[in-house]
Amino acid sequence: MKRTVDVSIPIGPVHPCWKEPARVKCETRGERVISAEVELGYMKKGIERIMKGRPWQEVMFLAERVCGICSVIHNMVFIEALEHISEIVVPERAAYLRVIVNELDRMQSHILANFSYCYTIEHETLGMYLLDTREKVMDELERITGARVTCAFIVPGGVRFDLRAEDVLHLRASLDILEQDIKRYTGIFERGPMIALRSRGVGILTQEAARESCAVGPTAKASGIADMDRRLHHPTYQKLGFVPISRNEGDNFARIMVRFQEVIQSIALIRKCLDQLPEGPIRGGGIPGAGEIAYSGEAPRGELSYFIKTDAAGRVLEISIQTPSIMNIEACCHYMLKGVASLADVTSTFVSSDPCIACTER
């Protein structure tokens, strides 16, 4: 006689698969998840409160530390918002350099997300391959900006360091190696029968559900929504002819594949940038002034918005940040996790949406 039991199982906050503390409470019958709820509040530091009343040179570093994985885009969105407020013009070379560093950062973030997923489904070999590949990206990031994680590269009116001729050669050489490696790993992931068993058809997010839950970034792109990519509205990306990627499956497999494809796309974008890189100054100067703006950019996890109000001396009076992970966590808990067949798939589904708890709570 089959028995159905209702159990509420908490997962986390300290869990072997998760890098950051969050608790997912699953209502289960047998092992099938009926509903899931996420409990946050382990990482709240009050960054927005600290930012108030500070000049850009202090807020810039705090903005980087909203999220350590995608630090460059936080820096970029904050600085570009300030530039829009005070009409600072960025030299063209600096705009291209920003895109190069931003895409390198996106690559390392995506590779890290895919590593976490492979690690969670216990495919450690592929995970380690990816982590080793990520080190190559980090090397390039370090060569250009001088730091591995918190680069502090983008300042109002330009960037901090120029790209040297020998760095361009290094970058091109490692992009070739990276492209080859990532294509190989994409093949392993796409054709692996064991990976398919753990990934295909697990944690499905339909297009309607993705729209309802306001999912963004690779999570939405895997469900067939690609028009919300903020890079389409960025002038430099428009010059590069950026077209977002989308897939239709909407399962864990599609989310990881979208990230792999975006890495390949980022490599192409960087190559295009290097080809078109104009000569000229890298700094235009300019001091931020008074004004307010809502500005957004595309982080590795999706749309990132800053609302900033500054005073005449360029100090931040009010700031509010909307990070992509909060929407993706909503989509994950209320739509993807419903009907997941086993508890082992709960962790892998949660990781596949690439949640960044530090961003979410700030």
Closest CA to 323 of 3, 77, 53, 58: 77
Q: Which of 360, 323, 352 is nearest to 335 (CA)?
A: 352
Task: Answer yes or no: are the C-beta atoms of 82 and 308 closer than 8 Å.
Answer: yes
Closer to other proteins by CB, 39 or 212: give it: 39
Q: How far apart are CA 252 and CA 258, in angstroms?
A: 10
Nearer to other proteins, 158 or 297 (CB): 158
* Nearer residue to other proteins within complex by CB, 69 or 210: 69
Least distance (Å) between residue 102 CB and other proteins: 17
Beta carbons of 151 and 75 less than 8 angstroms apart: yes
C-alpha–C-alpha distance, residues 286 and 158, integer Å: 10
In sign, the C-alpha dihedral spanning 330, 198, 259, 251 is negative
Minimum CB separation from other proteins for residue 295, in Å? Answer: 20
CB of 350: closest distance to other proteins in angstroms? 14
CB of 43 to other proteins, least distance (A): 5
Q: Which two tokens stand for residue 97?
A: 């350099």
Smaller CB separation from other proteins, 52 or 183: 52
Query: Which of 97, 257 has the CB closer to other proteins?
Result: 97
Instruction: Select 59 or 256, whichever has its Cβ closest to other proteins.
Output: 59
Bridge partners of 321, per DSSP, are: 306
- The answer to whether 335 touches 326, Cβ cutoff 8 Å, is no
Q: In whole angstroms, how close is the CB of 20 to other proteins at the nearest point? A: 5
CB of 2 vs other proteins, minimal distance in Å: 33
10 Å Cβ neighbour count for 290?
14
Q: Report, in Å, the least distance between residue 268 CB and other proteins.
A: 25
Nearer to other proteins, 30 or 55 (CB): 55
Min. distance of Cβ 223 from other proteins in angstroms? 25
d(CA 279, CA 275): 11
Closest CB to other proteins among residues 139, 330: 139
Beta-carbon contacts of 195 under 8 Å, excluding residues fewer than 6 positions away, are 121, 123, 126, 188, 189, 253
